[in-house]
């Protein structure tokens, strides 16, 4: 617990003392701080409304555990298709990269300068 936060217990020993008092069954009064009321409610015995349906839930859990384990079928075709698609994409990208690298000239080609004396129709 954070020390002296909003008037709550100062340390773990104080929290343990509050829990022990709650377990002993001393109900908190209306003027008790909220933390003491919360700890008292959490440490107290369960009421009938809180455990209604517990037997059904335990029986359903045990029945589910006793049943057959569902077989998990891997989607092998999907995995193979994904692997082949990745391989094809990698191959196409590699070919495109090689084509770009082979087409590159080491020195840029400078176009010849146009002459102003040339005319159409001569």
Q: What is the pLDDT of residue 64?
A: 87
Q: What is the pLDDT of residue 76?
A: 82
Q: What is the pLDDT of residue 82?
A: 93
Query: Residue 38 and residue 27: Cα distance in Å, rounded?
Result: 11
Q: Are 39 and 22 in contact (CB under 8 A)?
A: yes
H-only helix segments in the chain: 12-24, 34-43, 48-51, 54-66, 76-103
Residues of the chain with pLDDT under 50: 1-4
Q: What is the pLDDT of residue 111?
A: 75
Q: What is the pLDDT of residue 121?
A: 56
Q: Are 34 and 60 in contact (CB under 8 A)?
A: no
Sequence-distant (≥ 6) Cβ neighbours of residue 8 within 8 angstroms: 1, 2, 33, 35
Q: What is the pLDDT of residue 2?
A: 47
pLDDT digits (tens, 9 = 90+) for 105-117: 667 667 777 665 6
């Amino acid at each position: 617990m954070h020390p002296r936060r909003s008037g709550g217990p100062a340390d773990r020993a104080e929290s343990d003392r509050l829990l022990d008092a709650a377990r002993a069954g001393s109900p908190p009064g209306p003027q008790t701080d909220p933390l003491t009321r919360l700890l008292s409610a959490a440490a107290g015995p369960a009421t009938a409304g809180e455990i209604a349906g517990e037997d059904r839930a335990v029986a359903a859990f045990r029945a589910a555990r006793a049943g057959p384990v569902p077989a998990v079928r891997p989607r092998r075709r999907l995995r193979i298709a994904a692997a082949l698609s990745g391989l094809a994409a990698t191959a196409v990208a590699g070919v495109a990269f090689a084509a770009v690298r082979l087409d590159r000239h080491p020195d840029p080609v400078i176009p010849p300068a146009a002459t102003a004396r040339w005319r159409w129709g001569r």
